[in-house]
């Protein structure tokens, strides 16, 4: 009995450090932030935290046009960039898996942007699309496609296009690698049987590859939605790389929800309580969108 009792404590000994670390560095900050979201704390005086209940949340959803503008900007970027990036990643993965040699080299080259620092990505695109010295304007004018240079980062329409391209360039390699891992689990017998039945490459792609990659697609869509609503560093550094101090870029067309949260909490306004309410509202929206994505795709699968 003594030996059994001494053995029973070891699981708690090994799990204990994780539980303590989780409670201190994740659970407690999350609960503290939620409490902060129900106060009017500005962060200037640690003792000055007036409890105001759900007033911050009511203001976020009913009396804050900038919050909804940032939601709309984020959703607009995500709804355009995500399908294009996922489609490109899937097609490139299929091409690499069945045709391209030196797969590991090509895979590494395409995956590098995903692990590149967001600050570097923002500065790279800011220099590339600079009106005066950017390589994009230089190439377009020298090839005769443009008569005059475009102010890519000074016009809300063009700045939005640049952010879309930047998001695609960064995430393309990640989606490609995920789909490559899914393709490796599909048995070649399915394709051999389809060839015997006379199915061409396009028919094999739509009848075999896509249906069997459905779980991967669900994962990629959920991850893409979460990552899309967390867009911040790239857009902010793209604007700051031009020397602009305008929050959200030209016409605030690049103001994402995380950027708005950052500006409200730590930049010009320093409203910690209201910023925390924005953060938890964003978490709720991400959860709802992820749930809808999973339900829709699972329903199609049934």
- Residue 241 confidence (pLDDT): 64
pTM: 0.82
The C-alpha atoms of residue 228 and residue 221 are separated, in whole angstroms, by 10
- Residue 143 confidence (pLDDT): 87
- Phi-psi group of 43: left, alpha or beta (phi > 0 → left; psi -120 to 50 → alpha; rest → beta): left
Alpha carbon 74 to its chain's center: 10
Question: pLDDT tens digits for 133-166?
Answer: 888 989 988 888 878 888 888 888 888 899 999 9
- Residue 72 confidence (pLDDT): 92
Closest CA to 274 of 265, 263, 266: 265
- Residue 116 confidence (pLDDT): 84
The C-alpha atoms of residue 73 and residue 96 are separated, in whole angstroms, by 34
- Residue 84 confidence (pLDDT): 93
- Residue 80 confidence (pLDDT): 92
Long-range contacts of 49-53 (CB under 8 A, 24+ apart): 49/273, 52/273
- Residue 142 confidence (pLDDT): 87
The C-alpha atoms of residue 160 and residue 153 are separated, in whole angstroms, by 9
| Total H helices, total E strands in the chain | 16, 0
* Residue 121, CA atoms < 13 Å, CB-side half-sphere: 23
Within the chain, which residues score under 50 in pLDDT?
A: none
């Amino acid at each position: 009995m003594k030996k059994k009792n001494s053995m029973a404590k070891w699981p708690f000994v090994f799990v204990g450090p994780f539980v303590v670390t989780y409670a201190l560095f994740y659970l407690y900050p999350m609960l503290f932030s939620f409490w902060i979201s129900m106060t009017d704390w500005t962060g200037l005086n640690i003792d000055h935290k007036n409890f105001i209940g759900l007033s911050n949340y009511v203001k976020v959803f009913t009396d804050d046009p900038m919050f909804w503008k940032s939601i709309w900007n984020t959703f607009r970027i995500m709804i355009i960039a995500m399908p294009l990036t996922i489609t490109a990643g899937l097609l490139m993965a299929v091409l690499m898996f069945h045709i391209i040699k030196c797969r590991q080299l090509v895979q590494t080259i395409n995956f590098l942007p995903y692990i590149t620092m967001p600050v570097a990505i923002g500065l790279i695109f800011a220099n590339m699309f600079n009106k005066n010295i950017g390589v994009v304007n230089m190439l377009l004018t020298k090839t005769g496609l443009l008569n005059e240079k475009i102010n890519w980062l000074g016009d809300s329409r063009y700045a939005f296009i640049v952010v879309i391209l930047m998001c695609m360039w960064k995430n393309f390699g990640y989606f490609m690698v995920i789909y490559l891992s899914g393709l490796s689990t599909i048995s070649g017998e399915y394709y051999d049987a389809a060839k015997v039945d006379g199915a061409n490459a396009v028919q094999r792609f739509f009848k075999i590859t896509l249906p069997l990659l459905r779980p991967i697609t669900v994962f990629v869509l959920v991850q893409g939605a979460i990552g899309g609503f967390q867009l911040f560093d790239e857009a902010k550094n793209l604007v700051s790389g031009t020397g602009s101090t305008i929050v959200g870029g030209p016409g605030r067309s690049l103001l994402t929800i995380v950027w708005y949260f950052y500006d409200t909490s730590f930049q010009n306004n320093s409203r910690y309580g209201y910023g925390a309410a924005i953060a938890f509202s964003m978490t709720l929206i991400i959860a709802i969108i992820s749930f809808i994505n999973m339900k829709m795709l699972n329903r199609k699968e049934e």
